[in-house]
Amino acid sequence: MIVTVDTGGTKTLVAVFTNKGEMKAHVRFPTPKNTVKYLALLREALAELPIRGKVDAVAIALPGIIKDDIAIWCKNLGWQNFDIKKALDPLFDGAPIFVENDANLAGLAEARMLKPLQSSVLYVTVSTGIGTGFVTDGEINKGMRCSEGGQMLVEFDGRVRQWESFASGQAIFETYGKFGSEIKSKRQWRHIADRISRGFLAIIPLSQPDIIVIGGSMGTQFKQYAEYLTGYLEEGLPPHIKRPQFIQARHPEHAVVYGGYYYATDQLTRR
What's the CATH number for 114-248? 3.30.420.40
Class of domain 2-101+253-270: alpha beta
pLDDT for position 75: 86
Convert the chain into a string of H (helix), E (strand) and C (coil). Answer: CEEEEEECCCEEEEEEECCCCCEEEEEEEECCCCHHHHHHHHHHHHHHCCCCCCCCEEEEEECCEEECCEEEEECCCCEEEECHHHHHHHHCCCCCEEEEEHHHHHHHHHHHCCCCCCCEEEEEEECCCEEEEEEECCEECHHHCCCCHHHCEEEECCEEEECHHHHCHHHHHHHHCCCHHHCCCHHHHHHHHHHHHHHHHHHHHHHCCCEEEEECCCHHHHHHHHHHHHHHHHHHCCCCCCCCEEEECCCCCCHHHHHHHHHHHHHHHHC
Dihedral of the alpha carbons of 170, 76, 37, 68, in degrees to the nearest 10: 140
Q: pTM of the predicted model, to two decimals?
A: 0.91
C-alpha to C-alpha distance for 120 and 133, rounded to whole angstroms: 11
C-alpha to C-alpha distance for 84 and 159, rounded to whole angstroms: 37
Q: Which parts of the chain register pLDDT below 70?
A: none
Instruction: Give the largest Cα separation in the chain, rounded.
Output: 58
pLDDT for position 19: 86
pLDDT for position 216: 87
| Residue whose C-alpha is closest to residue 102's, from 79, 56, 71, 68 | 71
User: Domain-by-domain residue ranges, the chain?
Assistant: 2-101+253-270, 114-248
pLDDT for position 93: 81
Beta strands 11-17 and 23-30: pairing type? Answer: antiparallel
pLDDT for position 92: 85
C-alpha to C-alpha distance for 195 and 159, rounded to whole angstroms: 13
